[in-house]
Amino acid sequence: MRIIATVVLGACAFSAQAPKRTVTDAEVQKVHKSALVLDTHNDVTSRTITGFDINKAAADGHTDIVRYRAGGFGAQFFAVYVGANYVEGNGSAHRAMEMIDTVRHDIIGKNPKDFELALTAADIVRIHKNGKIASLMGIEGGHAIEDSLRLLRNFYALGIRYMTLTHSNTNNWAGSSGDLDGRTKGLSPLGKDIVKEMNRLGMMVDISHVSDKTFWDALAVSSAPLLASHSSCRSISNIPRNMTDEMIVAMAKKGGVVQVNFGCEFLSQKSAKTSNFGNPAIREKVAAAMKNFKGTLDEQRAKMREVIKEMGLKTIPATLADAVAHIDHIVKIAGIDAVGIGADYDGVDCVPEGLDDVSKMPNLTRALLENGYSAKDIRKIYGENLLRLMRAAEQAAQH
Ligand SMILES: [Zn+2]
């Protein structure tokens, strides 16, 4: 997830690119059902931790069980997100434990007919076959382990299967893309030991949010392929959170996968320019207004929208075609085995029309079919590539 919100005013213009071929509803359904739809980043945890009931169809947000079922979901990695504000006073591990509990207790525990905890790639396949949504956890923000390999191992034992080495804050051992200072920093010796320990455990090394230098260090150190759980292409939308072509190609050569983020500013340069990501003036004003703000994530977002609105700004939304363009680009430069979906639902405010929430995934299936992707390609994008990466992480742990 990201902290700073963007605001969407007015209706999104649904992109109407001429399809390469005509696709029937029956074909969309058939192909969609044949895939294991797996998404590697969802922040509904920031809502369930303050009481949101995922089993109630909600009018707001992006995620609930009804919409998951409509979207044909097979597996979800839930974000165990720890904000940078927990670093002060050493509250990061405490927060991570509470976030793990909201996945295990509020999401899975209270809804056993719909969700089941998955710890391995084999679990994902088995749970999906049984008609439930395989539920996994990834830590977002490496500061959660409070510089301790012992805590890292405990988090693995509780079910954490990936960790982003940083969030938007640089921590004591890894530089982040989210602060100017951190962009010059990579992995410290401790950071390299942490990556090696993640390899030894079989926890996927997630480079979403890290600085470019941290990325290259992690690529050199990791014995397992890298994961980008929710990042898109910088050559299309030039923001530090996205990946350069060089990074995507290098990561793919080692078996890594880029899971495309659906946030408008990740997908479209036009959107980025009207958000904190691509516009430093917005970033500064929002950061100043948010400095001592306390409250729930939803309250924070409302406050941030207010600030941006006061600046008289309108975010230009991205389109479904923009999402397809990122998938096309990764396939073109790195191959069909290098791309997946990490939508960041409930972690971003602006998503493209047609991909408004988790229920809308069949629209992407249709768009991919119209653009010439085969059923086999779509199955790779939706889950098989990530399953391959997870199996490789599991195998690396045995050596
Ligand atoms: Zn994030």
The beta strand positions in the chain, using DSSP E, are 37-42, 73-81, 115-117, 133-140, 160-164, 204-206, 227-228, 257-260, 339-341
DSSP per residue over 18-30, as a string?
PPSS---HHHHHH
Q: 283 CA to middle of ligand 1, Å? A: 16
Q: 344 CA to middle of ligand 1, Å? A: 7
- Residue 326: enclosing H or E segment and its boundaries? helix 320-334
3-class SS at 204? strand
**Which of 257, 371, 357, 384 is closest to 324 using CA atoms?**
371
pTM: 0.92
Contact 133, 68 (CB under 8 A): yes
Mean pLDDT by 10 residues, the chain (399 residues): 40 52 96 98 97 95 98 98 92 97 98 98 98 98 98 98 96 94 93 98 98 98 98 97 98 98 96 81 76 66 74 86 98 98 94 96 98 98 98 91
What pLDDT, on the 0 to 100 scale, is given for residue 221? 98
Q: 341 CA to middle of ligand 1, Å? A: 13
Q: 47 CA to middle of ligand 1, Å? A: 15
Contacts 24+ apart (CB under 8 A), 332-336: 333/245, 333/248, 333/249, 334/248, 334/249, 334/251, 334/252, 334/258, 335/252, 336/377, 336/380, 336/381
Token match 């001429």: residue?
18
**Which of 353, 341, 330, 178 is closest to 264 using CA atoms?**
353
Q: 91 CA to middle of ligand 1, Å? A: 19
Q: 39 CA to middle of ligand 1, Å? A: 13
Q: 179 CA to middle of ligand 1, Å? A: 14
Q: 399 CA to middle of ligand 1, Å? A: 30
For residue 153, give both structure tokens.
């191992």
Buried b (16+ CB within 10 A) or exposed e, 120-159: bbebbbebbeeebbbbbbbbbbbbbbbbebebbbebbeeb
Q: 206 CA to middle of ligand 1, Å? A: 11
Q: 154 CA to middle of ligand 1, Å? A: 22
Q: 373 CA to middle of ligand 1, Å? A: 28
What pLDDT, on the 0 to 100 scale, is given for residue 274? 80
Q: 230 CA to middle of ligand 1, Å? A: 7
What are 140's strand-pairing partners? 81, 164
